[in-house]
Structure 1
Amino acid sequence: MTEVVLLTVAGFMGGTFGSMVGLGGGIFVVPVLVLFLGVPIHGAVAASLLAVVATSTAGSINYIRRGCANLRLGASVETALALGALTGGVVGALLNREALSAVFGGVMIVVSLYVWVRRNASAPRPLEDEGLGRLGAAYYDPSLRCEVGYRVRRLPFGLLLGLVAGNVSGLLGVGGGFLTVPAMRLAMGVPIRASVATSTLMLGVTACSGALVYLARGMVDPVVTVPVVLGVVVGASLGSRLASRVRSSVLAAVMAAVLFAFAVQMLLAAGGISLR
């Protein structure tokens, strides 16, 4: 019973924070399951992918209602994400525990540093008269108390990054959001609030592609997966509501700090150093 409660709490915390920053919860759930609850990393990745599906469903509802999610942009990037996730899932199922932990930690280090350095870049601007383009959109930002408009730039580059994010998603069970959010924000010029909302919307489809591989290989443990998914569903709904009350620069800074902390722990785990 204690283990079930801990798994549920881990899912709740991951879902809450993951939904706030558009990462789907997996980037937080996997390290917690592996580092603190002793779950084998392949089982943690499989549970995380299924939890990401739940996060996307629960969190995206609120974002769509508020008009933050860019449906046209999401549909464009999702094709590349899903294709990459299938490939990443196959590779991830074949890697040993140490290698998978090392890859996880290394990717998180790079992304956390990049997000921290560029945390104030591409600040949202009040809606102007210039056209928003085919994929551009506008939404109301309650922290700025005005409507924000933006154009989507460098779409081909964004699709390439989406393919890479999909591979990482299937490989690590993290939904790809910790790459798609920075990609949309920094490479495509999309404000972080819209990036978070659109990423949350896309995560479910991407995670499904990777989860199919783990399901086919029998790596899904219901005892671990069910309580994690339940916790994530509740947490994701709460997180998407809390996100609208936090300034964009703060969201980016917190995202970078948490990613870096977990990255260091995963790299230590890959080297045989346990913090439990």
Structure 2
Amino acid sequence: MALTALLGLIVGVILALTGAGGGILAVPLLLFGLGISVAEAGPIGLLAVGMAAAVGAGMGLRAGTVRYKAALLMAAAGIVCSPAGLWLAHRLPDRPLTLLFAMVLFYVATRVWRRTLPARPGRCFKAPPCILDAQRGKLNWTGPCAWALALAGLVAGGLSGLLGVGGGFVMVPALQRYSNLSAQSVLATSLAVIALVSLAGVATSSLAGHVQWTIAAPFCAGALAGMLAGQQVAARLAGPYLQRGFAVVCALVALGLFIKGLR
């Protein structure tokens, strides 16, 4: 139980320090630390990430940085797609799931690393479909804006059900690409979506009897403690070097998962 709580603590700290995509390491930690399968670790990781994200989203709501209409749209799309991912996760062998997780994790590593690099000079930027009206403090809703956010929610929901990830590595880049929201608003909105989609997925898994509560309880308690502790030092440690370190860790874990999957 102490090891499980420690693994959860690590996940919570990583989530607080690196943003919404940090929760993707929850399942690999459970795989390597406790030796359970991807299908067994998925709902536990999803619950821990969802609870930790809910804490961050609550802070964002209090600060007024959550775009709640965008979050509800993305979450609704994700909740629709999440059960299909859960259904598939319990019907696929563990090896292809592990290899798929390794590929997703390596993709996250490359995305995070590329975000730390300076923008190329002379690059042409096109106005995003979702524009925040500074005077009203609200997004100007259009068809392309709604479609872009809903599509991101569908992809994140499917992956959350299939692999037990929150989907922040999908939603954060999507919000950055398709809106002009500030970095704080992007993160807070993404955390709100993660909380809603994750907890809906956990409810489905729990009703089907796929959640091992003896592991989930201490793991989630550790994740919440880590999230609160990490929030205290996040501002002082934030920067490109921290993101690059996270990218390197993701790449190394992806390599470990790939080797495990091939065995």
TM-score for the superposition, normalised by structure 2: 0.82
| Corresponding residue to 2:6 among 6, 9, 16 | 9
Match of 2:176 in 1: 185
Match of 2:71 in 1: 74
Distance 1:33 1:42 in 2: 11
Task: Report how far residue 61 of structure 1 moved.
Answer: 2.3
Unpaired segments ≥5 residues, structure 2? 120-127
Distance 1:115 1:162 in 2: 20
CA displacement 1:109-157 (0-9 Å, x = unmatched)? 12321232233578xxxxxxxxx9986277xxxxxxxxxx999996222
Match of 2:108 in 1: 111
Match of 1:125 in 2: none
| Corresponding residue to 1:234 among 208, 225, 239 | 225
CA displacement 1:212-241 (0-9 Å, x = unmatched)? 342233221122111001011111222334
1:136 partner SS: strand
Taking a change above 3 Å as real, the CA distance of residues 40 and 247 of structure 1, as seen in their structure-2 partners, is closer
Aligned amino acid, residue 132 of structure 2: G
Moved more, 177-186 or 96-105: 177-186
Taking a change above 3 Å as real, the CA distance of residues 134 and 37 of structure 1, as seen in their structure-2 partners, is closer
Distance 1:242 1:150 in 2: 31
Distance 1:179 1:134 in 2: 17
The answer to whether residue 94 in structure 2 is matched with residue 91 in structure 1 is no
**Cα-Cα RMSD:** 2.9
| Corresponding residue to 1:262 among 240, 253, 256 | 253
Report the identity percentage.
27
Distance 1:53 1:259 in 2: 20
TM-score for the superposition, normalised by structure 1: 0.79
Task: Report how far residue 9 of structure 1 moved.
Answer: 0.8
The answer to whether residue 157 in structure 2 is matched with residue 166 in structure 1 is yes
Alignment of 1:56-67 (within 5 A): 56-67=53-64
Match of 1:202 in 2: 193
Distance 2:162 2:190 in 1: 18
Paired residue total: 250
